[in-house]
Amino acid sequence: MAEKIIKTEYSEEMQRSYMNYSMSVITARAIPDARDGLKPVQRRVLYDMSELHLSHDKPHRKSARIVGDTMGKYHPHGDSSIYDTLVVLSQDFKKGMPLVDGHGNFGSIEGDGAAAMRYTEARLEKFTEEVYLKDLDKTVAFVPNYDETEKEPEVLPVRVPNLLINGSEGIAVGMSTSIPPHNLGEVVDLVKAYIDNPALETEEMLNLMPGPDFPTGGIIANKKDLAAIYETGIGKIKLRGRMEVELGKRRADRDKLVITEIPYTMIGAGINKFLIDIADLVETKKLPDVVDISNQSNKEGIRIVLELKKDADIDKIRNILYKKTKLEDTFGVNMLAIAEGRPETLNLRGILKNFLDFQHKNTQKKYSVLLQKELDKKEIQEGLIQACDVIDLIIAVLRGSKNLKDAKACLMEGDISKISFKTPGFEEDAKKLHFTERQASAILEMRLYKLIGLEILALEKEHRETLRKIKEYEAILKNRSRMDEVIKEDLDQIKAEFAVPRKTRIEDGKEAVYEEEPEQVREVVFVIDRFGYCKLLDPSVYEKNIQAVQAESRWVVPCMTDDKIAVFTDTGNLHQIKAADIPFGKMKDKGTPIDNISKYDGTKEEIVFLTCGAAMREKNLVFATRMGLVKQVPAAEFETNNRTVASTKLQEGDRVAEVVLAAGQTDVVIQTDNGVFLRFLLEEIPEMKKNSRGVRGIKLAPGETLERLYLIGENPVVLYKEKEVHLNRLKIAKRDGKGSRVRL
């Protein structure tokens, strides 16, 4: 068979393929369906569990079995996504109504992960069976699975707006969804009211369902914004944790501020981060009234205890926690769902409309199936009742038949050509028989005990019940109002059995006001070792350990807490670090890598000079490069808020060899790597801009480089190859350069 080669533009093919991939992620993975509020993987896990008969009254089954069965039959995208879904569906701190009953370690609110799937077990919750999977065979359409070897439901016949009750979160290509969970009972009341009046205003809806109800409780502090959020489907909800004050029972006991509920957004690692943030606030004296922090949370709920000093200002502490930690956080709402096959941001009315349209279709299909079953029963019942009235004739036909086919032909068509009646006189009546095929089959299968009087009465009673049901089902199918009543009755039953009290309080909370007191400026000592680890030391600590600090540190710079540390490197960069951003440390602490708090890159550059802003003020800095160029730059040139700037301009291949702060010195000594020393007056080095290269300070021999630059103070002595060099004894070079160079 010849190959068929299709030529196409590469860019068009890439665009088409990426669009197909994007739509697959949006519609078949990350975004829930507006009808049942489920993503495909969630729907497949629940359906597979129902196929495995893991009902709430059956034993739990290994999660690995559920995951493997789901992956093999319906979701061939890896076991981790399936197990993660199973875990989340069972977590009561993430879902408004958990859908899976997990047995074993399914994770915790504090961020502990679930145990491996081979260790955990699961089964369906009763709520899931009754509300999500009931009447599955009578309502929704089934479609082929990925390899067309199985059938799976297109959606589940969920009888409540799951999109609201359990919410949803997902990130697709170019879009995301974030829908908060709501209270089941309130949502049911809202749906019933919407059925009665589809023109219900948003404000009226919020009288029935005030807003989200998060499983972690907490407080929604911007009630005034909820109407706009539900009107547009987009917005931000301000969440707060809930705190209680516990007064000390005895004089020696401390008062306690206890956090009993946390914002929904803090689930997981956020709790540990919250504890660390509180500890930092205590350490930096912003929470001076807190003397101890303990996390006493357990299976019963959240309990984070802050022990307080006597007469502590509770309101101030509360405001600081809201302002400075994630105890007040924002939940971004974007109610995006797949509606009629495409992603759409729905408002509250849109979600309810999609749900009710879905319910009406399901109810129509369900009662059509039930009606047909009752009509079939009616047909059989009428045949049996009629047969009982002419039972002697039926017996005569059966006795005169040679086989089942002949008997059936006589019952259905009155064909007596092959019937040999044992007793004459039944021929004319037999010709009048005209049972349907279904009735004839039922008569032929009827047992003799059905001819007992009580059985005949029971049959007639059952027939009357069937007629009642047919009348009821026809009324539901023909009358939309009656169908609405059925849906409302169904919702009432669900609410009566499964509704739970609201957990989240909704209010217009006062804005947390905290005027941060300016930090008191004080003296500190900045130290950095040869490995680039830096920290701030208290001056008293430095004075007690001065020798050890100087021995272990490459740079030691006294400064103030409101000052900046200036780091000059051999690549001509100046990195500035606020002293306030440098962590305090104890004498034994290693410190923080300077790379973490600045743009300094220790793999590409090396520090040649380090000082503080106050030390440079109104002074000049003398620059010297390896190629022998020198210049003076006023410190004012480096007064900038930028974290990194160029401190000098370099020729290709050149590096900064030395940066020295001029503080009243008059003479300069340059040293090369060949041991040549040159002394001359500082005033001979011109004052220039930072973006200039400088002038030649010494004439270098081929291959020679400038190594050091010294400003001569009192009795300066340097070592060069273990020899002492007294710089102030060197002769000052004349402008003609005679007698100025000294080689050791």
Using one digit for the tens of pLDDT, what is the confidence trace for 166-220?
A: 999 988 777 889 999 999 999 999 999 999 999 999 999 999 999 999 999 999 9
- At 431-487, the pLDDT tens digits run 888 889 888 888 888 877 776 766 788 888 989 999 999 999 999 999 999 999 999
Complete DSSP assignment for 371-413: HHHHHHHHHHHHHHHHHHHTHHHHHHHHHH-SSHHHHHHHHHH
Same domain for 303 and 400, yes or no, is no
CA separation, residue 158 to residues 146, 490, 590, 649, 690 (Å): 23, 12, 58, 70, 71
Quick check: 714 and 667 in contact, CB under 8 A?
no
- The tally of domains found in the chain comes to 3
Examine residue 481 and state whether it is found in any structural domain, yes or no: yes
Q: Which residues pair with 157 in a beta bridge?
A: none
Complete DSSP assignment for 10-77: HHHHHHHHHHHHHHHHIIIIIS-BTTT---HHHHHHHHHHHHTT--TTS--EEHHHHHHHHHHHT--S
Q: Torsion-angle region of residue 701: left (phi > 0), alpha (psi -120 to 50) or beta?
A: beta
- Picking from 126, 157, 188, the residue at the C-terminal end of a domain is 157
- At 380-422, the pLDDT tens digits run 888 888 888 888 888 888 888 888 888 888 888 888 888 888 7
Same domain for 303 and 388, yes or no, is no
Q: Which residues pair with 168 in a beta bridge?
A: 179
Choosing from 119, 132, 542, 600, the catalytic residue is 119
Residue type, 720: Y
pLDDT band at 341 (very low <50, low <70, confident <90, very high): confident
Examine residue 186 and state whether it is found in any structural domain, yes or no: no
**What is the predicted pLDDT for the residue at 392?**
84
Quick check: 660 and 615 in contact, CB under 8 A?
no
| CB-count exposure of residue 25 (10 Å: 0-12, 13-18, 19+) | middle
Same domain for 485 and 359, yes or no, is yes
Closest CA to 696 of 625, 633, 621, 622: 625
Quick check: 48 and 71 in contact, CB under 8 A?
no
Q: What is the CATH number of the domain that holds 105?
A: 3.90.199.10
- At 635-646, the pLDDT tens digits run 999 988 888 999
Examine residue 208 and state whether it is found in any structural domain, yes or no: no
Please tell me the distance from the alpha carbon of residue 154 to that of residue 73, in angstroms, as a whole number. 15
Quick check: 295 and 525 in contact, CB under 8 A?
no
Please tell me the distance from the alpha carbon of residue 93 to that of residue 614, in angstroms, as a whole number. 53
Kindly state the percentage of the chain with pLDDT values over 70.
Answer: 92
Please tell me the distance from the alpha carbon of residue 182 to that of residue 248, in angstroms, as a whole number. 37
Same domain for 256 and 382, yes or no, is no
Same domain for 399 and 283, yes or no, is no
Sign of CA dihedral 149, 150, 154, 155: negative
Classify 582 as helix, strand or coil. coil
Same domain for 279 and 391, yes or no, is no
- The 3-class SS string of 706-721 reads EEEEEECCCCCEEEEC
Examine residue 247 and state whether it is found in any structural domain, yes or no: yes
Q: Burial code of 175-190, b = ≥16 C-beta within 10 A, e = fewer?
A: bebbbbbbbbbbbbbb
Please tell me the distance from the alpha carbon of residue 571 to that of residue 650, in angstroms, as a whole number. 8
Closest CA to 475 of 374, 379, 380, 352: 374
Q: Which tokens hold the place of 124?
A: 């369906």
Examine residue 172 and state whether it is found in any structural domain, yes or no: no
Closest CA to 642 of 693, 692, 577: 577
Same domain for 455 and 390, yes or no, is yes
Quick check: 162 and 315 in contact, CB under 8 A?
no
Please tell me the distance from the alpha carbon of residue 211 to that of residue 223, in angstroms, as a whole number. 8
pLDDT band at 734 (very low <50, low <70, confident <90, very high): low
**What is the predicted pLDDT for the residue at 149?**
93
- Picking from 444, 463, 496, the residue at the C-terminal end of a domain is 496
Please tell me the distance from the alpha carbon of residue 631 to that of residue 43, in angstroms, as a whole number. 73
Same domain for 273 and 363, yes or no, is no
Please tell me the distance from the alpha carbon of residue 65 to that of residue 59, in angstroms, as a whole number. 13
Quick check: 223 and 507 in contact, CB under 8 A?
yes
**What is the predicted pLDDT for the residue at 738?**
40
Classify 703 as helix, strand or coil. coil
Please tell me the distance from the alpha carbon of residue 486 to that of residue 493, in angstroms, as a whole number. 11
pLDDT band at 744 (very low <50, low <70, confident <90, very high): low
Classify 507 as helix, strand or coil. coil
Kindly state the percentage of the chain with pLDDT values over 90.
Answer: 56
- What is the residue whose two structure tokens read 């039953």? 493
Closest CA to 685 of 667, 659, 708, 704: 667
Same domain for 317 and 413, yes or no, is no
Q: Which tokens hold the place of 731?
A: 């002769």
Question: What does DSSP assign to residue 352?
Answer: H
Classify 508 as helix, strand or coil. strand
Q: Which residues contact 679 (CB under 8 A, 6 or more apart)?
A: 667, 668, 669, 712, 727, 730, 731, 732, 733, 740, 742
Same domain for 369 and 467, yes or no, is yes
Q: What is the CATH number of the domain that holds 394?
A: 1.10.268.10
CA separation, residue 135 to residues 159, 256, 370, 498, 531 (Å): 10, 53, 11, 18, 70
Task: Outline where 52-152 has alpha helix (H).
Answer: 63-73, 79-90, 126-131
Quick check: 575 and 599 in contact, CB under 8 A?
yes
Q: Which tokens hold the place of 518?
A: 């300016």
Examine residue 85 and state whether it is found in any structural domain, yes or no: yes
Q: Which residues pair with 243 in a beta bridge?
A: 259
Complete DSSP assignment for 603-669: TT--EEEEEEHHHHTT-EEEEEETTSEEEEEEGGGG--S-SEEE-S---TT--EEEEEEESS--EEE
Same domain for 433 and 365, yes or no, is yes
Q: Name, of 79-88, 300-309, 410-419, 661-670, the range with top average pLDDT.
A: 79-88
Tell me the backbone φ, ψ of residue 222, rounded to 5 degrees: -130, 65
- At 263-287, the pLDDT tens digits run 999 998 788 889 989 988 888 788 8
Q: Which tokens hold the place of 527?
A: 């130290």
Same domain for 380 and 469, yes or no, is yes
Please tell me the distance from the alpha carbon of residue 408 to that of residue 398, in angstroms, as a whole number. 9
Examine residue 12 and state whether it is found in any structural domain, yes or no: no
Residue type, 700: L
pLDDT band at 724 (very low <50, low <70, confident <90, very high): low
Q: What is the pTM of this model?
A: 0.72
Question: What does DSSP assign to residue 448?
Answer: G
- Picking from 473, 496, 519, the residue at the C-terminal end of a domain is 496
Sign of CA dihedral 87, 92, 96, 99: positive
Please tell me the distance from the alpha carbon of residue 114 to that of residue 88, in angstroms, as a whole number. 10
Quick check: 184 and 498 in contact, CB under 8 A?
yes
Q: Which tokens hold the place of 174?
A: 């170019």
**What is the predicted pLDDT for the residue at 258?**
93
Classify 499 as helix, strand or coil. coil
Please tell me the distance from the alpha carbon of residue 705 to that of residue 136, in angstroms, as a whole number. 85
Please tell me the distance from the alpha carbon of residue 411 to that of residue 431, in angstroms, as a whole number. 9
- At 222-255, the pLDDT tens digits run 999 999 999 999 999 999 999 999 887 666 678 8
The answer to whether 119 is a known catalytic residue is yes
Examine residue 391 and state whether it is found in any structural domain, yes or no: yes
Sign of CA dihedral 214, 219, 221, 223: positive
| 498: number of Cβ within 10 Å | 17
Question: Is the pLDDT reported for residue 594 higher than 80?
Answer: yes
- At 28-44, the pLDDT tens digits run 668 899 999 999 999 99
Q: What is the CATH number of the domain that holds 313?
A: 3.30.1360.40
- The domain of 470 spans 354-496
pLDDT band at 737 (very low <50, low <70, confident <90, very high): very low
Helix axes 480-498, 184-196, angle to 10 degrees: 170
Greatest CA separation for the chain:
157
Please tell me the distance from the alpha carbon of residue 243 to that of residue 261, in angstroms, as a whole number. 7
Q: What is the overall mean pLDDT for the chain? A: 88
